[in-house]
Structures are given as structure tokens and as C-alpha cells.
Amino acid sequence: MLRGLWIAYWMGLFLLTHSPKVPGVAPRIPQLDKLVHAALFCGLTLLGGRALRLASRPGRLRKVALWALIYAGYAAADEWLQQFVGRTPDLLDWLADGVGIVAGSAILLLRVRRSPTP
């Protein structure tokens, strides 16, 4: 069930970031989109980690790090592809995605240290 939710979240994220911007609509708070990027990718990382049970398996640090790299690669491709739907690729958006990925990965790993291992 979690895997399906994770895949649906990832697909929704793709659709959200590849929908053309609505002309004349801008955030009221400057750089709010960076916080949104970080939050969305933190959510993707956490949901994926839970769905794949990365933090509860042997070699969890390596697996969480591998998925963090996969998400970072996806985020870079996501930014690059946005130019084809009338959006502007932004290095700062990708860096914000990375902040979310690192935060989500850290939460996954710290959560395991605090809970007993079966």
C-alpha cells in the first residue's frame, strides 16, 4: 500500500512540476517556491524510505544514500525538462530539492537510531 502511495506521490510531483505556469500568478512571499521544493522532496524521500523499508534493513546508510542520489538525479532531470513546458529551469530549485532530500534522508536514519531494531 505504501509503495502505491509513494509512486502516486512521485507521479503527482512530476505532473505538478510539469504543468505550465498560470500567467500573472506569483507567490506573495518571495522565494516561497524554494520552501515548497524542499518540503515536496523531503516528503518524497520519507515516503519512499518507508515504502521500501530502507531504514530497517542491513546496509541502511548505503541504501538511503543511493536513493538520495537517485532523487537528486531525478530532481536535476525534472528541472531540465521544465523548459519544454514553458517553465524556467532553476539551479536554486534543484538545490532546494537537495535540501529536502538530505532532510528526509536524515530523518529516516535518525528515526532508526531512536527505535529498537527487531
The average confidence (pLDDT) of the chain is 89
Structural domain contains residue 48: yes
* Lowest mean pLDDT across 2-16, 56-70, 73-87: 56-70
Structural domain contains residue 27: no
- In the chain, how many domains are there? 1
Q: Which domain holds residue 58?
A: 2-17+32-114
The pLDDT of 4-23, averaged and rounded, is: 90
From first CA to last CA, the distance across the chain in angstroms is 22
> 97 CB contacts (<8 Å, ≥6 apart)?
37, 38, 40, 41, 71, 72, 75, 78, 79
pLDDT value, residue 27: 65
Structural domain contains residue 25: no
Higher pLDDT, 117 or 35: 35
